[in-house]
Amino acid sequence: MAGPLEVFIHAGMHKTGTTSVQAALAAHRGALLDSGIWYPPGGPKQIAPLINPKRADWREDHTRSVLGMARQADATRVLLSLESVSTFTGQQFRRLTDCFSDCDLTYVFVFRHWSSYLPSRWKQYVGRRDSQTFAGYVNAALGSDHIDNRFDLVLDRAAGSGRCSVKAISHDWAVRDEGGVLPAVLRAVEVDGVLQSSLLSGAGWLHRSAGGEDFEVARLLNGLLAHRMGLPQDDNFRSVAEGRPCDVFFDASASDMPEALASRIVSLGRTTALAHAIPAEWNHALDGLEGHRSLFPDLGERPVFPREPRQATSCWALEWQDLREWSELQEVIDEMAPRIAERLGRRRTLVS
Per-residue model confidence as pLDDT tens digits over 303-322: 999 887 667 889 999 999 99
pLDDT digits (tens, 9 = 90+) for 146-187: 999 999 999 999 999 999 999 999 999 999 999 899 999 999
Statement to judge: residues 91 and 224 lie in one domain: no
State percent of the chain over pLDDT 90: 69
Residue 89 domain flag? yes
Statement to judge: residues 17 and 159 lie in one domain: yes
Residue 120 domain flag? no
pLDDT digits (tens, 9 = 90+) for 103-114: 999 999 999 998
- Asked if pLDDT for residue 1 goes beyond 50, the answer is no
Residue 206 domain flag? no
Residue 179 domain flag? yes
Statement to judge: residues 96 and 74 lie in one domain: yes
| Domain boundary residue, one of 166, 200, 234 | 200
Other beta carbons within 10 angstroms of residue 218's beta carbon come to 21
Question: In Å, how far are 44, 130, 142, 167, 194 from 149, measured between CA atoms?
Answer: 25, 18, 6, 19, 37
- Asked if pLDDT for residue 281 goes beyond 60, the answer is no
CATH number of the structural domain spanning residue 72 = 3.40.50
Statement to judge: residues 223 and 177 lie in one domain: no
Closest to 248 measured CA to CA, from 342, 320, 317, 177: 342
| Domain boundary residue, one of 177, 200, 223 | 200
Residue 119 domain flag? no
Domains of the chain: total: 2
Query: For residue 334, what are the domain limits?
Result: 213-282+290-351
Statement to judge: residues 88 and 188 lie in one domain: yes
Burial class (CB in 10 A: 0-12, 13-18, 19+), 316: buried
- Asked if pLDDT for residue 302 goes beyond 60, the answer is yes
Statement to judge: residues 299 and 256 lie in one domain: yes
> How far, in whole angstroms, is CA 210 from its chain's centroid?
15
Statement to judge: residues 218 and 182 lie in one domain: no
Statement to judge: residues 272 and 156 lie in one domain: no
Beta bridge partners of 170: 111
Residue 338 has phi, psi (to 5 degrees) of -60, -35
Residue 154 domain flag? yes
Residue 55 domain flag? yes
pLDDT digits (tens, 9 = 90+) for 119-150: 999 999 999 999 999 999 999 998 889 999 99
Residue 135 domain flag? no
Residues 182-200 have a mean pLDDT of 87
| Domain boundary residue, one of 135, 170, 200 | 200
Residues 303, 280: Cα–Cα separation, whole Å: 13
pLDDT of residue 329: 95
Residues 198-216 have a mean pLDDT of 69
- Asked if pLDDT for residue 208 goes beyond 60, the answer is no
Residues 68-97 have a mean pLDDT of 96
Statement to judge: residues 19 and 167 lie in one domain: yes
pLDDT of residue 42: 82
pLDDT of residue 343: 75
Residues 197, 84: Cα–Cα separation, whole Å: 27
Burial 88-113 (b: 16+ CB within 10 A, else e): bbeebbbbbbebbeebebbbbbbbbb
Statement to judge: residues 196 and 251 lie in one domain: no
Q: At 296, is the pLDDT very low, low, confident or very high (cuts 50, 70, 90)?
A: very high
Q: What is the CA radius of gyration of the chain?
A: 21
Statement to judge: residues 84 and 160 lie in one domain: yes
Residues 185-210 have a mean pLDDT of 75
pLDDT of residue 142: 85
Statement to judge: residues 276 and 158 lie in one domain: no
pLDDT digits (tens, 9 = 90+) for 45-76: 788 888 999 998 899 998 999 999 999 999 99
165 three-class SS? strand
